[in-house]
Amino acid sequence: MSQVKVPVVRNILEANERLAKANRTIFDQAGIFAVNLMSSPGAGKTSLLEKTIDGLGDRYRIAVIEGDIQSSYDAERIQRKGVQAVQINTDGACHLDGGMVLEAIEALDLDGLDLLVIENVGNLVCPAEFNLGEHHKVMILSVAEGDDKPLKYPLMFQTSSVLLVNKIDLLPYVDCDLEKIRQRAGQLNPRQQIFEVSCRGGAGLDAWYAWLETEIARVRVNRG
């Protein structure tokens, strides 16, 4: 039984890796900085994107790929900001994969694009296992989810270059110790940058914008 199962799983991941590499080649050749944005449902991915468009949209050309099990609700939120958005419905799958993203890229106008954010399906587990061709994985943890999450869902913390701890405006009302998040995430991934933010009031977002601007500039030098 296990002799059959293991190769199948490996083949799925290998096939995904090939598609992710194809996506990465497209991003690199076009000089587009690509982010794979992950979190549990409702941690604030789309809210962060709305704020990011408000903060950087006048200086950078931004597009968004929205991954959801169903609906085009998030893509419509982004389009209302005047930014290109393509919705992927996974029809039940709990994560995006390289092939889905490749199809979505084909529906985008990449000309002059600086930043592409791929909002993954809300889930703290599977999205971390599938590369999409992104330059960086970025995750959000909202304080309402609790400070134990790095202990329970280590892979996402290990694979993400940036951790945004969101909804810090709710700290007085929830049992969450920021120092514990810092320590636990730091043990899993000492190089991970942590930004404590509120997408409601905007606190802390300048550090996130500065990180994005540095990375956009790094990738943009490739543009012909």
Binding residues for Mg ion, per CB under 5 A? Answer: 45-46, 74
43 binds, among Mg ion, ligand GTP, none (CB under 5 to 8 A by kind): ligand GTP
CB 93 within 8 A of CB 69: yes
Residues that bind ligand GTP (CB under 6 A): 39, 41-47, 74, 122, 166-167, 169-170, 198-200
Residue 160 binds which entry of Mg ion, ligand GTP, none, with Cβ cut-offs from 5 to 8 Å by kind? none
Q: Which tokens go with 161?
A: 């270059």
Min dist CB 164 to Mg ion, Å, is: 14
Query: Quick one: 43 or 162, whose CB is closer to ligand GTP?
Result: 43
In the complex, what is the shortest distance from the CB of residue 174 to ligand GTP, in angstroms, rounded to a whole number?
Answer: 10
Question: C-beta of 220: minimal distance to ligand GTP in Å?
Answer: 27
Min dist. Cβ of residue 67 to ligand GTP (A): 9
Instruction: Give how far Cα 51 sits from Cα of 8, 17, 202, Å.
Output: 41, 31, 8
Between 19 and 83, name the residue whose CB sits nearer to ligand GTP: 83
Least distance from Mg ion to the Cβ atom of residue 154, Å: 23
For residue 125, with 0-12 CB atoms within 10 Å meaning exposed, 13-18 middle and 19 or more buried, which class applies?
middle
Q: Could you say which of Mg ion, ligand GTP, none residue 137 binds, taking C-beta under 5 to 8 angstroms by partner kind?
A: none
Ramachandran area for residue 31 (φ above 0: left; ψ -120 to 50: alpha; else beta): left
Residue 42 DSSP SS3: coil
135 touches which of ligand GTP, Mg ion, none (CB within 5 to 8 A by kind)? none
Query: Residues 64, 83: contact at Cβ < 8 Å?
Result: yes
For residue 195, count other CB atoms closer than 10 A to its CB: 19
| Residue 155 vs 170, nearer CB to ligand GTP | 170
**How far is Cα 194 from Cα 207, in angstroms, rounded to an integer?**
10
Q: Judged by CB, which is closer to Mg ion: 40, or 46?
A: 46
Nearer to ligand GTP, 102 or 171 (CB): 171
Give the side-chain half-sphere CA count within 13 A for 9. Answer: 7
For 207, the token pair is 């550090």
